[in-house]
Amino acid sequence: MSARSSRLKSRPRRWLPSPDSSHRLPPKIIMADQSSKRLLHCVIVTPEKTVLDLKAAAVSLPLDDGSRGVAVGHAPFIGRLGTGEVRMSGVTGGGSGQTSVRTFVEGGFAEIGQNTVTIITQRAIDAGSLDPAEAAAELKRLAAEQATGDEAIEARMMAESAARERLRAARG
């Protein structure tokens, strides 16, 4: 028998687990579904106070570069919030008895951790309390404003975009 053939015989023993050892598979990722009892802990914080602190099955976030859905088992993530509506579905707690909650936010950051969603924002308003007529009037006023200079034009465009999102949230 050559040295080469004896070397090949020994290799599979190193590759395969021995029959008496317990070979463990990686843990399964738990996906969220409606029957799951596991929920996300959701918190919305402004500089003044904690606006919301409740449990939800899923959350939709208005990020700066698009919308992102979050469910139980989501990978850790930190993102910059845009202006828009945070939607929480399958809500429990909070004392409202609602199954979904809509909150309008203007910028900030969102952190997704181990089944937690923390939103830090300058401004958070219950979307149900927004007045569509008031939001439309604000949008109309901003559209009529004249801005000169790059910074003033950019500020007006951002305010107009925020007013559009506020109107969309007010209309539901």
For the cut 50, the answer to whether the pLDDT of residue 35 exceeds it is no
Is there a domain that residue 4 lies in? no
Same domain for 51 and 104, yes or no, is yes
Residue type, 146: Q
Residue-wise DSSP of 69-135: EEETTPPPEEEEEEEEEEEEES-B-TTS--SEEEEEEEEEEEEE-SSEEEEE-S-EEEGGG--HHHH
Same domain for 111 and 138, yes or no, is no
For the cut 90, the answer to whether the pLDDT of residue 138 exceeds it is no
Q: Between 74 and 143, where is the model more confident?
A: 74
pLDDT tens per residue, range 37-92: 588 999 999 999 999 999 999 999 999 888 899 999 899 999 999 888 999 988 77
Q: Model pTM greater than 0.75?
A: no
Q: How confident is the model at residue 34 (pLDDT cuts 50, 70, 90)?
A: very low
Same domain for 123 and 136, yes or no, is no
Q: What is the mean pLDDT of the chain?
A: 78
In this prediction, residue 142 carries a pLDDT of 78
Same domain for 148 and 94, yes or no, is no
**Alpha-carbon span 47 to 51, nearest angstrom:** 10
Same domain for 46 and 105, yes or no, is yes
Same domain for 124 and 136, yes or no, is no
Q: Between 130 and 124, where is the model more confident?
A: 124
Which residues constitute the domain of residue 61?
40-129
Specify the CATH number for the domain of residue 69: 2.60.15.10
In this prediction, residue 127 carries a pLDDT of 78
In this prediction, residue 20 carries a pLDDT of 55
Same domain for 46 and 123, yes or no, is yes
% residues pLDDT > 90 (the chain): 30
Same domain for 125 and 156, yes or no, is no
Is there a domain that residue 35 lies in? no
pLDDT tens per residue, range 97-119: 568 888 999 889 999 998 999 99
